[in-house]
Amino acid sequence: MILTVTCNPAVDVTYLVDDLVPGDVHRVREVRQLPGGKGVNAARVLHEIGEDVVALGLADAGFGRSVEALGVAADVLDVLPFVRRTVVVQHGATTTSLGEPGWPVAECAAESLTDLVGGADALVVSGACRPASILVSRLGSPPSPPRLECLRCSISTTSRLHLLSPRAAAC
């Protein structure tokens, strides 16, 4: 089983508009909304290619249910008042992104994540935030992992726990 950890989850909202002119009012043609964050996105892709995966994270009460609605198993610590949003406006061939800041998280909440990661074949820790660094420092790096590959290139699972820390494997 592969565990993904998302310390700074987001609800990804995409608006499709015909044109975007600053200062004008725009009619949205289509709205797409998905639970996101780097670890959730990785879990969704892993699930789609048939891997046994569980998305772990720090979020609010409803976020885990929205991940599970995608068919991805989720174990979420309800420690945030609500999950931040990322808004993408697609207009023609141009994309404009707006990302809300993440919530500060108590160290004890981040430490609670370490209780959830036992028994995994692989662990993906994603996101640039303090909880991720606390988790990485508590678990440590694996000794000489045989391969660290980008998820979009290929998926590699082994019988040992491998910790992919933020920025550890770059494509």
| Residue 150 CA: distances (Å) to CA of 20, 21, 68, 114, 171 | 34, 37, 24, 23, 6
Q: Three-state DSSP class for 171?
A: coil
Domain-located, residue 96: yes
Within a domain: 157: yes
Question: Phi/psi at 161 (nearest 5 deg)?
Answer: -75, 125
Residue at 27 is within a domain: yes
**pLDDT given at position 158:** 33
169 in a structural domain? no
What total number of domains does the chain contain? 1
Task: Give the pLDDT of residue 90.
Answer: 95
Within a domain: 15: yes
What mean pLDDT do residues 92-98 have? 92
Q: What is the mean pLDDT of residues 66-95?
A: 93
Residue 52 maps to which CATH number? 3.40.1190.20
Range 55-68 average pLDDT: 92
Low-confidence winner among 75-84, 85-94, 144-153 (lowest mean pLDDT): 144-153
Beta bridge partners of 2: 53, 122
Contact 79, 58 (CB under 8 A): yes
- pLDDT tens readout for residues 139-167: 555 443 333 333 333 333 332 333 333 33
pLDDT at 124 over 90: no
Q: What is the 3-state secondary structure (H, E, C) of 69-97?
A: CCCCEEEEEECCCCCEEEEEEEECCEEEE
Residue with tokens 């998305």: 55
The answer to whether residue 170 is domain-embedded is no
Residues 55, 39 contacting (CB under 8 angstroms): yes
Strand partners, 59: 78
Strand partners for 123:
3, 163
Domain that holds residue 126: 2-142+150-164
Question: Please, what is the average pLDDT of the chain?
Answer: 77
Residue 35 maps to a domain: yes
What's the confidence (pLDDT) of residue 100? 92
Within a domain: 131? yes
44 vs 104, more confident: 44
